[in-house]
Structure 1
């Protein structure tokens, strides 16, 4: 795999549909030291951005499968070090956490898992660490601006050992997610899948099919613009 041609903060491009979600996600990432941009202009990605120097491309769930495949193929042709991330949901903080999970490598020797049956986070820590568990879930699926909320389940210093952290009952069983930070390392898990009705909204790219989603305002950021 080729190495990036330049050094410095990781360069992130968030490609999605909802203006507020992708802008907020890019803003959170910039606040954490990344160089992050956001766009919902799928047809302009290859011409408006220097795809040879992007480190991570995040795809939102409403990016049509054919568009996603085309962009992956074309970007991979000119960029051997890029990583593609599929966003779990239209939740800005969750998207940012997924990016952090890709870029963080420290702490990988710790065991982090989620038991879907018991709704419990399982930790096996080889040394003392700060542990943050946060739950995220959708509160409205109305396009083009879905809404969500989050809950800090725990934020504490743990000694080495094995721990089991149950999710609160208020975290719903659908359209819900979990991020677990152990030191600088971040992992993301699905608690409850997105409803089928939402998944059916994903554009197919078929021009003969009536669009299921309303128009959105154009977003394409470049640096601090």
Structure 2
């Protein structure tokens, strides 16, 4: 067991299970619905701008994404979007909220291994009901000593979570697919930050890697994490 790391924090979406893939598939259907009003590239630019504006109002997750699609549809049609398109977008959002959970390769084995020796805490942002549903369906819930579903991930988030569920940030490690939300704020408060990139990156979560930071590491899959922690 590592003497350095006593608490391990995990991100959820696109770290433990697939998430962004379903957003991209919905965006493709969104582009098809609005094909007569906007080319796909321009439409995605407008949608991303709407998401950026709306995060402070709606937070992260499917509900905010659905509302941003509707807002974008209204904008690009200059208020003439047909009611059936709005109805279809709402249906797409509900379908995303019902989508089964698909664990990523190595996720379950990694969590089970680390649960034997470390305090585990899930630190995820998004819609409360949706994140609780996904955790329950994942079959991993009982392996975590703490669950933190937050509106955003800031340095203060990690100070509080690692103090509540462990020995503080200096003895903690956070792993996730978002450099902006999972790695940088964790390192900022003295924890280890481990970047595990996903196949698809959301533009709003991108940030430069802290190359040279003493407590920064990168892995390609969660299967590498137990060995990494033993080597710290």
Normalising by structure 2, we get a TM-score of 0.29
- More strand, by proportion: 1
- More helix, by proportion: 2
Normalising by structure 1, we get a TM-score of 0.30
